[in-house]
Amino acid sequence: MDKASIENMTSKNFSNLGRTFTDFPILWWKKMRLSKKIFEVKGIENISHEFAKGKGVIASQHIRSLDFAGRSLSKYPIISMYKPFEMI
């Protein structure tokens, strides 16, 4: 990867990180009905369907959406896992 690409990716990463400072307070302190105006869950019926059959579901998403997904899926018996970042 050339220097310009790395700088561009770094800039986008920090921009995305900055958005967490506005997103997380909404997740932590706002009522769920207000949070639903900010994010949309598609395909939730698939999760309900599999649980109704006694099956489990493995979901994978990007790191920022993991927090939103956790809140929106909190009515289900879920466990979240992640691999901590390694500083290089």
Q: Using one digit for the tens of pLDDT, what is the confidence trace for 11-36?
A: 988 887 787 777 777 777 777 666 66
Domain count, the chain: 1
Does 65 fall in a domain? yes
Across 51-68, average pLDDT: 75
Would you say residue 85 has pLDDT above 60? yes
Would you say residue 7 has pLDDT above 90? yes
Does 81 fall in a domain? no
Across 43-71, average pLDDT: 78
Range of the domain at 31: 3-72
What is the reported pLDDT for 17?
Answer: 79
pTM of whole model > 0.75? no
Q: Residue 68 CB: number of other CB atoms within 10 A? A: 19
Supply the angle between the helices 63-72 and 3-29 in degrees, to the nearest 10.
Answer: 20
Across 35-55, average pLDDT: 80
Distance from the first to the final alpha carbon of the chain: 16
Does 21 fall in a domain? yes
Does 8 fall in a domain? yes
Does 83 fall in a domain? no
Number of residues that this document lists for the chain: 88
Does 87 fall in a domain? no
Does 38 fall in a domain? yes
